[in-house]
């Protein structure tokens, strides 16, 4: 199991608009292609205007295939301009859970 942790720092005050358009349109498109959403979060304390979403994948090949399908979807291409200008900085990490982490069991590396 691999987790993709995507972190976006949004423009000041853009969190409500971002969450609204993702809830109304974006999340359905993403879920159709990406599969398992672990969490979709926004900051309350600490760095403000931050969004984090975490997706689970069976393998890096699974992730690559699913992300390619998402990027090729015309609905996703039409959606992207609605959030693109709200995002100032984007960061992406691939994480592996430790053997004792809660969630689905993983095999040691």
Spatial distance between the Cα atoms of 43 and 51, rounded to a whole number of angstroms: 7
Reported as a single tens digit per residue, the pLDDT across 31-76 is 999 989 999 999 989 889 999 999 999 999 999 999 999 999 999 9
CATH number of residue 22's parent domain: 3.30.70.100
Q: Tally the domains of the chain.
A: 1
Q: Radius of gyration over alpha carbons of the chain, in Å?
A: 15
Percentage of the chain modeled with pLDDT above 90: 82
Question: 96, exposed or middle or buried, with CB in 10 Å at 0-12, 13-18, 19+?
Answer: exposed
Spatial distance between the Cα atoms of 61 and 59, rounded to a whole number of angstroms: 5
Residue 108 confidence class, pLDDT cut points 50, 70, 90: very low
Q: How far is CA 83 from CA 19, 65, 102, 109, in A?
A: 9, 23, 32, 37
Whole-model pTM: value is 0.86
Residue 103 lies in a domain: no
CA atoms within 13 A on the CB side of 58: 5
Residue 78 lies in a domain: yes
Residue 27 lies in a domain: yes
Residues spanned by the domain of 79? 2-95
Instruction: State the chain's mean pLDDT as an integer.
Output: 92
37 in Cβ contact with 30 (< 8 Å): yes
């Amino acid at each position: 199991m691999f987790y993709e942790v995507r972190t976006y720092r949004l423009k000041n005050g853009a969190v409500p608009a971002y969450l609204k358009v993702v809830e109304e349109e974006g999340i359905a498109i993403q879920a159709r292609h990406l599969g398992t959403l672990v969490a979709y979060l926004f900051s309350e304390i600490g760095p403000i205007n931050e969004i984090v979403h975490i997706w689970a994948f069976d393998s890096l090949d699974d992730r690559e295939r699913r992300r390619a399908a998402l990027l090729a979807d015309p609905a996703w291409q039409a959606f992207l301009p609605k959030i693109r200008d709200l995002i100032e900085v984007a960061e992406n990490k691939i994480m592996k859970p430790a053997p004792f982490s809660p969630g689905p069991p993983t095999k040691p590396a």
